[in-house]
Amino acid sequence: MSFSRASSQLERLAISVQRSTALRTTTFKARQRTVVLPHIRKWLSTSHTKPIYPSAPSVNSSGDTSRAPTNKLATIHSYTNQVLNSLPEAIPTKYALSGEEALRMLGTLAASARQQDLALIERMLGSFPSLCGLQVDADIHNHILRGLMQHGNVQTMLNWLCQMHEKPGNVKPFLEHWHTFLDYCADTGQPRMIRHAMSKMAHSGRKPNNSTFRIFFRALFNSGAPVNEFYSAFDRIENYSFRYDESLAGMLHEGFSKLNLPQQAVEVKEEFERRFSKRVVKANAMQVEWEEGLENEVERCGIASAVRLCEEFRRDGYRVTSHTLTIMLRCSREVADLEYGEKALQVKAGPMQWSILITNAVRAGDIRGAQLIYRQSQSCGVLPDAPLVQPLLTGFCESAFGSANDGLIDQALDLYNDLARAHPLSSSNPAAPKAFGRQRSFGPDAFMYGTLLRAMANSVDVQKYSKLSTDLLADMEDRGIAADGHVVVSSLIVIAMRCSTSLDDALAAYRKVIGKDAPKAIGVKGYRWILHILSRLSFNEQRALPPIWHYFEVVKDMRRSGLEIPPHVYASLLRRLSQLAENAPKEQIFRLAASVRRVHDHLTLDPSITPDTLLWNQLMDAYQRVGLFVEAYRVWEMLLISETYDNASVSIILDACGYANTWPLAEQVLKKLSERSFPLNQGNWNSYVECMCRNGMLNDALKTVCLEMGKNNKDVKPNLETARLLLTFAMKTNQQDEVSMRLQRYLPELWESLPAHLTGSVIKPEGV
């Protein structure tokens, strides 16, 4: 059955239903839920989410780690969507689910971990107080993580952790969340994932501590790692604030001794002590345990509760140090917390503690607040050092990206000058050479110079900062800091390219900075940035084509340097070609189409790249934007056969069918998606509606909007964009009055929310 015929039948059905009373409709929905709920509850009463994770996920013969059969998951989806669609706006007096039932459903969905199951979890969390009376907190996320561990996909778990603060409840992962995940990785022998997670953990503001490193070492032992991997682990630990712990040294010695490797046991322990024993004053095992307890208390209950716990620990022998105040301020960004901690602990705050407040304010997006904290630190007589200045300086530089002026970069330079004056070079205290990296120093360091140069390279007035970048390079040389780091070199290349006068000049500038005989290493990120800038150089031309030849010359250098070519390298160039195709004259469309084909040829012939869905989507979109529909549809068929498509793929191919006036193919797309039970999102529905409108099927589009969209899922109900599409196409055929009346009748809430320029211009008669 076609969508238009189905829409017609649905409209007749809707009219007949409207003749029934609202009471009968409500009774029907309640009866429908009453029939399904016992099945849910019967199953939930006989199944449970395990409170602890297994040491390794069990996998059936098909490779599926889901714990619940598909039919039970389908029942959960059906019932939960019905309930969520009928929830009142206000908190109800009687909940559709008990808290225990809701948690079990979350655990079951998490243990399946399919895309649609994770989407339903987020939908449930968005209405959790109304659904079961519980607030979304850290314990709810703990329950979900345990479910994900039953599934066993560690990347899915890590993604959930990294995105927790963006999900309903806005809960930032606690240390216990991270350690629960890391423990799972250690038990299953996955140290590589732990290394990756530790960097994500530090970036989120939850820096690894001694317990984290203990888990890391356990993972290395469980995976049978050789000695050199332990030394690499020491290299990684040096990037974090680490308090020497004799028990960790003992753990390393004992681990190799159990493997009957006594010589390696001695060597690894000695190397660990050589690197770390003098970095920080030794702390006994109990001191470390107390401080980890304080960290957890601060995260869960705040600084006042942690101070009370600290007093209990002191009676048992805990020794308060400046590090104690650092722990207390781990989650704070208020000077009042620092003052309270100083008074309660009898410890004077230094640059490190002030730096924590500034860092937390910057992470929260409060740059002005961070600036005020910095000024207060100066009024208290705190001498600025790199850890104190760097967070605010980075905040200014990152906020400057995309800004219409360079004022924030100038403020970052003012901070740099404050620091340089506080720590001048002198013959009696020369600076030691430093390698590029996150090494801390009292004065300006390599990381700070990289941050400033990157901001200058992205500035509005790059010519202005070209001279200043030369001055910074001279300062680096004076301080003995090598200008050969990834960020520094790539920033200098971008500045030189943006100051060039032609594409050939830009490529020559790139080669001059990177060097010929011994090319400087700039890493994958550096190459991606350089290629992005190169594809967008215009030299006062309004629609200059990206330099395909120049672009792939740099790609060759990237490959010769031993770096993997990521799909983004091709996707970025295709995205630029797609942008240039918008409203371009016909002769340029021909040239753009030829460029897209050439990029596709390079992609096909490049054995070093494995295209992902994002890249195929970008290729399909580029083809359809330059008018090559047949090629775009071939890409779609490849994605469909390989089942690597996503919602973006669906929107792109529906848009392509709309512009190419090929409605039968659009019907085929929707039919095949329906056969695969693929859920359309809001963007897919709008693309579907626009496709019908472009194919002269305004009435069918109107029926779809009024009778189908959002009936089974509130998340995809018609929105402003949907109405705008209908009214825009209605004006072209003088059908705006009919469309307006139908929208007012079937979607009164949407109609009332439309801006006046849509409703007024559409329904107002001519001459009024």
Residue 15 is predicted with a pLDDT of 34
CB 215 within 8 A of CB 182: yes
Residue 426 is predicted with a pLDDT of 60
Please give the full DSSP string across 315-327, using - where no structure is assigned: HTT----HHHHHH
What is the mean predicted confidence (pLDDT) over 293-302? 87
Domains in the chain with CATH codes: 73-78+92-240 (no CATH), 285-422 (1.25.40.10)
What is the mean predicted confidence (pLDDT) over 44-62? 37
C-alpha to C-alpha distance for 228 and 234, rounded to whole angstroms: 10
Q: Read off the pLDDT of residues 337-393 as tens digits, 9 standing for 90 and up.
A: 999 999 999 999 999 999 999 999 998 889 999 999 999 999 999 999 998 999 999
C-alpha to C-alpha distance for 431 and 480, rounded to whole angstroms: 6
CB 72 within 8 A of CB 45: no
Alpha-helix residue ranges (DSSP H) falling in 277-319: 285-301, 303-315
Query: Pick from 456, 453, 506, 508: which is nearest to 484 by CA?
Result: 453
Q: Read off the pLDDT of residues 253-293 as tens digits, 9 standing for 90 and up.
A: 999 998 889 899 999 999 888 888 766 544 566 777 888 88
For 426, counting Cβ atoms within 10 Å of its Cβ (0-12 exposed, 13-18 middle, 19+ buried), the class is exposed
Residue 754 is predicted with a pLDDT of 80
Inform me whether the pLDDT recorded for 155 exceeds 80: yes
Residue 715 is predicted with a pLDDT of 79
For 17, counting Cβ atoms within 10 Å of its Cβ (0-12 exposed, 13-18 middle, 19+ buried), the class is exposed
- Other C-beta atoms within 10 Å of 60: how many? 8
For 34, counting Cβ atoms within 10 Å of its Cβ (0-12 exposed, 13-18 middle, 19+ buried), the class is exposed
C-alpha to C-alpha distance for 639 and 652, rounded to whole angstroms: 12
CA distances to 125, 164, 172 from 167, rounded to whole Å, are: 8, 5, 10
Inform me whether the pLDDT recorded for 59 exceeds 60: no
CA atoms within 13 A on the CB side of 749: 3
Beta bridge partners of 283: 245
Residue partners of 680: CB distance under 8 A and separation at least 6 = 647, 650, 673, 688, 716
Inform me whether the pLDDT recorded for 116 exceeds 90: no
What is the mean predicted confidence (pLDDT) over 464-491? 91
What is the mean predicted confidence (pLDDT) over 46-68? 37
C-alpha to C-alpha distance for 205 and 387, rounded to whole angstroms: 14
**Helix axes of 246-258 and 285-301: crossing angle, nearest 10 degrees:** 110
Residue 201 is predicted with a pLDDT of 85
Residue 19 is predicted with a pLDDT of 34
C-alpha to C-alpha distance for 500 and 510, rounded to whole angstroms: 10
CA atoms within 13 A on the CB side of 419: 26
CA atoms within 13 A on the CB side of 370: 25
C-alpha to C-alpha distance for 52 and 672, rounded to whole angstroms: 40
CB 591 within 8 A of CB 577: no
Confidence band of 88 (pLDDT split at 50, 70, 90): confident
Q: Read off the pLDDT of residues 242-251 as tens digits, 9 standing for 90 and up.
A: 667 788 888 9
Confidence band of 622 (pLDDT split at 50, 70, 90): very high
pLDDT above 70: percentage of residues in the chain: 85
CB 723 within 8 A of CB 754: yes
What is the mean predicted confidence (pLDDT) over 710-730? 88
C-alpha to C-alpha distance for 715 and 682, rounded to whole angstroms: 7
* Token pair in block for residue 406: 């360079």
The pLDDT mean for the chain works out to 83
pLDDT above 90: percentage of residues in the chain: 43
Query: Pick from 445, 435, 425, 436: which is nearest to 385 by CA?
Result: 445
Residue 24 is predicted with a pLDDT of 34
Residue 543 is predicted with a pLDDT of 64
- Other C-beta atoms within 10 Å of 449: how many? 24
Confidence band of 76 (pLDDT split at 50, 70, 90): confident
Buried b (16+ CB within 10 A) or exposed e, 219-254: bbbbbebebeebeebbeebeebbbbbbeebbebbbe
Vertex 249 angle, CA 245 and 255, to 5°: 135
CB 635 within 8 A of CB 623: yes
Residue 245, φ and ψ in degrees, nearest 5: -135, 115
Confidence band of 299 (pLDDT split at 50, 70, 90): confident
What is the mean predicted confidence (pLDDT) over 666-672? 94
Query: Pick from 682, 562, 681, 583: which is nearest to 625 by CA?
Result: 583
* Token pair in block for residue 287: 């001191």
What is the mean predicted confidence (pLDDT) over 118-123? 88
Q: Read off the pLDDT of residues 401-422 as tens digits, 9 standing for 90 and up.
A: 888 889 999 999 999 999 999 9
CA distances to 474, 693, 727 from 731, rounded to whole Å, are: 63, 12, 6
Q: What share of the chain is helix, strand, coil (3-state, %, to 5)?
A: 70, 0, 30
Alpha-helix residue ranges (DSSP H) falling in 606-646: 613-625, 629-642
CA atoms within 13 A on the CB side of 338: 20
Residue partners of 44: CB distance under 8 A and separation at least 6 = 101, 104, 105
Amino acid at the residue 728: T
Inform me whether the pLDDT recorded for 25 exceeds 50: no
* Token pair in block for residue 341: 């901690």
Please give the full DSSP string across 225-245, using - where no structure is assigned: --HHHHHHHHHHHTTS----B
pLDDT higher at 746 or 50: 746
